Amino acid sequence: MVARYIIEIEDCGRRFPCPEDEGVLQAMERQGWQAIPVGCRNGGCGRCLIRVICGAFRTGLMSRRHVSEGQGAQGLALACRLYPQSDLTVRLATPHDRAATENENARGA
């Protein structure tokens, strides 16, 4: 049996279930919600950037331009490549979150 966890989006209070093997963005979209902006759905464009406030998760490949290694370790993730391993509380990325990765990329370059 595939485990299912509840994802809560803090900004709007939306809650929806997500199987452990489905991306949080894909599960949200399939159930007809629009709380997180949907772009490429494949980890490349950065549009679905969120921050995990609490919960356990794993991530698939994400374009480093949008989530640097350091930022990823602090809970920043692309929702389309985010797979829950417990119930999760997440919030949409702020301009500050995005700037942090940009700065880190600029330093690394």
Q: Name the burial class of residue 1, with classes exposed (0-12), middle (13-18) and buried (19+) by CB atoms within 10 angstroms of its CB.
A: exposed
Binding mask 15-44 for ligand FES (x = CB under 6 A): ----------x------------xxxx-xx
Give the C-alpha separation, 37 to 58, whole Å. 20
Q: Is 98 in the site for ligand FES (CB under 6 A)?
A: no
Nearer Cβ to another protein, position 8 or 82? 82
Nearer Cβ to ligand FES, position 1 or 51? 51
Q: Is 4 in the site for ligand FES (CB under 6 A)?
A: no
Secondary structure class of 9 (helix, strand, coil)? strand
* Region for 12 from its dihedrals, namely left if φ exceeds 0, alpha if ψ lies in -120 to 50, beta otherwise: alpha
Nearer Cβ to another protein, position 8 or 93? 93
Residues that bind another protein (CB under 8 A): 38-45, 47, 61-66
Q: Is 45 in the site for ligand FES (CB under 6 A)?
A: yes
Phi, psi for 51 (deg, rounded to 5) = -120, 130
